[in-house]
Amino acid sequence: MDRRSLLKFGALASVGFAVEGCAPKTARPQVSAPRRAPLRLPLVNASWDRVIRTTIGLRPHRPSGFVLKADKLDGKTIIHNFGHGGAGMSLSWGTASMATDLAMAHGDRRAAVLGSGVVGLTSARELQRHGFAVTIYAATVPPDTTSNMSLAGFTPTSGLIQFSSRTPEWDAQFQQAVQIAYRRLQLLIGPKYGVTWIVNYAPTDNEQAGRGTNLLLPESVQGSRTILQPGEHPFPTKYAIERPEMRIEPSIYLDALMSDFLLWGGKVVIRKFETPRDIIGLSESVVVNCTGLGAKALFGDPELVPLKGQLTVLVPQPEITYGTSGGSRVASAEPGVGIHMMPRSDGIILGGTSQRDVWTMEVDEKERTRVVEGHIELFNAMRNLART
């Protein structure tokens, strides 16, 4: 494919650039001679023989957003904290902190946390920090949670809510949660928790693409974006949007949270709850429900629906320290469907699938081919451009 035809495409992927509504902020810049030295990037060796695994996770999506509220069940206080869609790795410190505020209103300082994904672990840590003795009860623990199957970038609005279902009350909760989470994650930067700042590039031919604001996000969380002009970047599109992005390595992060929890005297009990009646038998009178998609069966939540996500992983390349969103004509052809690449120490992660109400944990070969071929196309095109 020549550069001219490649210039015709380029799309923003849904992750990271989940722009629900775009409002031009500034005047169109003049497209003129390159303003800064051309960016050179090491390239991902994208090929089928470098695939080392494909993983599946079911994001716990609710059209009206996550649930964060206290209920009564017999004599117990049940604090619900579930339904984070494709944003649980990003938002969990925020909703954990707010769930803890609800627990503080209760006299007992012993708490049960149901679930040991990112939402359960962060809730347990927040409760400990506020003086609670905490036991986690969970059917599965890392690495066998959806949270381990995450990409995972700071994508606080991804797959989170149907825009038309928002309420002022939910919006206020979200705003508080995202601001807390954004700050807390920044304090965890470093090898211990596997949280890092990297740069993300979204190749695009649409000059307006990087100018919108995410209408859900407060100003303090919008982050900066630079639109790289022709000649300033190595992508097979006219422009590339450059932005800093927080990356969370799920295995490192979840193991570190679990270690912290145990170090603070936390206990873990492997147990599956079939009905709310099982919960009534617990000795703790404060229970925080962080069962993710499991809350559908356990509490009969009619709204919860999986957004099936599939990641295909290539052999790690430590020299790759940037992520990409989009950049393939074939793989990003349908509106709302994109591809993205996240480099991690456990591999080059290729994603871009979100299948609503699909419960199967089987690999979808068609989607796998779309995502892998899309990245082969992108990085081959970059390689060809570098040679010219």
What phi-psi label fits residue 309: left (phi over 0), alpha (psi between -120 and 50 degrees) or beta?
Answer: beta
Q: What is 272-283 written as a DSSP string? A: ---SHHHHHTSS
Kindly compute the dihedral angle of the four CA atoms of residues 323, 329, 330, 331, in this order, to the nearest 10 degrees: 30
**Interface with ligand FAD, residue 161, by CB under 6 A:** no
Please state the φ and ψ torsions of residue 367, each to the nearest 5 degrees: -65, -40
- What is the closest distance, in whole angstroms, from the C-beta atom of residue 71 to ligand FAD in the complex? 16
Of how many residues is the chain composed? 388
Q: What is the CB neighbour count within 10 angstroms for residue 61?
A: 26
Q: What is the CB neighbour count within 10 angstroms for residue 157?
A: 25
**Interface with ligand FAD, residue 65, by CB under 6 A:** no
Q: What CA–CA distance (Å, rounded) separates 110 from 366?
A: 48
**Interface with ligand FAD, residue 149, by CB under 6 A:** yes
Q: What are the start-end ranges of the E strands in the chain? A: 51-61, 67-73, 76-82, 110-114, 133-138, 195-204, 226-228, 239-248, 267-270, 286-289, 305-314, 322-325, 340-344, 347-351, 355-356
**Interface with ligand FAD, residue 60, by CB under 6 A:** yes
* Of 87 and 341, CB closest to ligand FAD: 87
* Of 9 and 174, CB closest to ligand FAD: 174
**Interface with ligand FAD, residue 90, by CB under 6 A:** yes
Q: What CA–CA distance (Å, rounded) separates 370 from 375?
A: 9
- What is the closest distance, in whole angstroms, from the C-beta atom of residue 26 to ligand FAD in the complex? 28
Secondary structure class of 120 (helix, strand, coil): helix
* Only segment of 118-126, 171-179, 228-236, 237-245 that touches ligand FAD (CB under 6 A): 118-126
* Of 15 and 341, CB closest to ligand FAD: 15
> Among 10, 65, 94, 153, which residue interacts with ligand FAD (rule: CB under 6 A)?
153
**Interface with ligand FAD, residue 89, by CB under 6 A:** yes
- Residues numbered 272 to 311 that lie near ligand FAD (CB under 6 A) are 272-273, 290-294, 298, 309, 311
- What is the closest distance, in whole angstroms, from the C-beta atom of residue 50 to ligand FAD in the complex? 19
**Interface with ligand FAD, residue 88, by CB under 6 A:** yes
> Among 80, 84, 243, 344, which residue interacts with ligand FAD (rule: CB under 6 A)?
84
- What is the closest distance, in whole angstroms, from the C-beta atom of residue 288 to ligand FAD in the complex? 11
Q: β-strands 239-248, 195-204: how paired? A: antiparallel
- What is the closest distance, in whole angstroms, from the C-beta atom of residue 114 to ligand FAD in the complex? 6
* Of 87 and 282, CB closest to ligand FAD: 87
Strand partners for 288: 79, 113
* Only segment of 88-96, 125-133, 358-366, 368-376 that touches ligand FAD (CB under 6 A): 88-96
Q: For the window 316-355, what string marks contact with ligand FAD as x by the rule CB under 6 A? A: -----------------------------------x----
**Interface with ligand FAD, residue 313, by CB under 6 A:** no
Residues 6+ apart with CB under 8 A from 265: 128, 133
* Of 55 and 380, CB closest to ligand FAD: 55
* Sole residue written with tokens 């796998």: 368
Of 86, 87, 146, 149, the C-alpha closest to 312 is: 149
Footprint of ligand FAD on this chain (CB under 6 A)? Answer: 15, 57, 59-60, 82, 84-90, 114-120, 138-140, 145-147, 149-153, 155, 272-273, 290-294, 298, 309, 311, 351
